[in-house]
Structure 1
Amino acid sequence: MLSWGEIRAWRKAERELLIARRLLVPREERESRDDIISDRLLGLLTEATGGTPPVLGFYWPFKGEYDPRPLVRALHRRGTRLALPVVIERRRPLIFREWWPGASMSPGVWNIPVPSEGEALIPDILLVPLVGFDCCSYRLGYGGGYYDRTLAAMTPKPLAVGIGFEISRLETIYPQLHDVPMDLIITENRVQTAESVENQGRKETAA
């Protein structure tokens, strides 16, 4: 049994390794991979909302993450309201401020752009970036704990969709009580759901 101190040290080292690996992916491969994920996301959003435009929380891409901006611009033209996370206070839940193409932006935490103004919204569906993830849909993030705090505090809770790449898959992140699993994880190869994880466990037991 690893101590929390040992797990934190492991997560820090693994995080640095996964980000470095992600940044080495050639541009053409990254764009092809992003297109596949966008198609998967569009299908999911259409199915989950029945064609009714949701409030969609997304993120501004950072350090080689999947870039959702082409997709959300297209969704905006279809009537989807969009929101970006904003850190108001460190170690507190995020708020989500409305964004639209051409909205005024300013540097936020880690100099990631955030809307300078706009209405605070509660997303129906929230896209969450993954540095790493495991077979039980737990997420390795950047270490600030913002998404875990936010999802734990949100009422109603949005559908949390983790977005990652197969090169970021881990056997486990050694989840703790404060870690919140994703409802779905989308990569260029699959859509991972609670049901698919459960079915995989049954197959392994049967084998």
Structure 2
Amino acid sequence: MADDDTPGSFASPACFLHEVDPAYSGLPGPLDLQAWTDVNRWRKAERERLIAARLEVPAETRAGWTEAIAAGVLAEIGDVEGRIVSAYWPFRGEPDLRPFMEEIARRGGRTALPVVVEKGRPLAFHLWQAGEALARGVWNIPIPAEQRPCMPDVVIAPVVGFDPTCYRLGYGGGFFDRTLASLPARPRVIGVGYSAARVPTIYPQMHDIPMDLIVTEAGAVRPQADVSTVRALT
């Protein structure tokens, strides 16, 4: 587990473009621009707080949490034989699921990594497993050297924060939301993060898409009905 903040070494492949306007990202814009400004400001501060907090946790502790998270995700997925599971390359204290990807392959599944094509466009998914060559993509994010496009059955998404309705606070680029909105058939989407990253609400906006569930070291969090319908800061 690394604490290296250098994108060239470790980078989250899904969200690295910080604090963008949804319209710039190709996502549906907010109905109330002032509300979006308030939410965006809050998200930026909360994002910084949560990342700093997880980096303060000893690497050995995070490694133990990650093992519990990987076991929980495997239990949720079930039989993986013949299925494609997309994970991610870890960054800034995120759960390191690379051993999890090796376990998926041992169980007869296939693994993939998301690839940032360019700003404002959905992610692409390419098959990759441990031992295969990597190249550096956008923002020096490691991506499969060989392009083998695929459509995952399961997508694992790291979270900076999450709320009881399973909305995800990411890095601000909107890549996961844009990707999920563009897919012809939605895969099962599982967010992963530490239980301390739970917040009362992320103030979801029109462009936000919830995860099907969140898996933490403390267990699975499933969407709770009528917990947060607030769409803007009050």
TM-score of the pair, normalised by structure 1: 0.89
Aligned residues: 196
Runs of 5+ in structure 2 lacking a partner? 1-33, 229-234
Instruction: State the partner residue of 1:42.
Output: 74
* Matched AA of 1:173: I
**Aligned pairs (5 A) from 1:110-125:** 110-125=139-154
Q: How does 1:158-169 map to 2 (within 5 A)?
A: 158-169=187-198
- Higher helix share goes to which structure? 1
Structure 1, gaps ≥5 residues long: 202-207
Match of 2:51 in 1: 19
Equivalent residues in 2 for 1:1-207 (5 A)?
3-46=35-78, 50=79, 52-194=81-223, 197-198=224-225
User: Structure 1 102/52 Cα, relative in aligned 2: closer, same or farther at 3 Å?
Assistant: closer
Aligned partners of 2:139 and 2:69: how far apart in 1? 25
3-state secondary structure, aligned to 2:184: coil
Kindly provide the CA deviation profile for residues 159-184 of structure 1, in whole angstroms up to 9, marking residues without a partner as x: 01000111111111110000000001
Distance 1:4 1:118 in 2: 37
SS in 2 for 1:191: strand
The one-character-per-residue Cα deviations of 1:98-127 (angstroms, maximum 9, x if unpaired) are 101222212233422111223101000000
Q: Distance in 2 between matches of 1:159 and 1:78?
A: 18
| Alignment partners' CA distance in 1, 2:190 and 2:66 | 15
**What is the alpha-carbon distance in structure 1 between the residues aligned to residue 76 and residue 43 of structure 2?**
30
Checking the alignment, whether the CA contact within 8 Å between 2:136 and 2:143 is kept in structure 1 is yes
SS at match of 1:14: helix
Measure the CA separation in 1 of the matches of 2:80 and 2:101: 15
* Aligned-residue identity in percent: 46
Choose between structure 1 and 2 for higher RCO, CA contacts under 8 A separated by at least 6 residues.
2
Instruction: Give the C-alpha shift of residue 38 in structure 1.
Output: 1.2
- CA distance in 1 between counterparts of 2:84 and 2:54 reads 29
Paired with 2:148 and 2:47, the residues of 1 have a C-alpha distance of: 33
Q: 1:125 to 1:140 in 2, by over 3 A?
A: same
8 A Cα contact 1:99 1:118, kept in partner: no
Give the Cα separation in 1 of the matches to 2:226 and 2:99.
Answer: 34
TM-score by length of 2: 0.79
In the alignment, is the contact (CA less than 8 A) between 2:153 and 2:187 conserved in 1? yes
Question: In the TM superposition, what is the alpha-carbon distance from 1:51 to its structure 2 partner?
Answer: 5.1
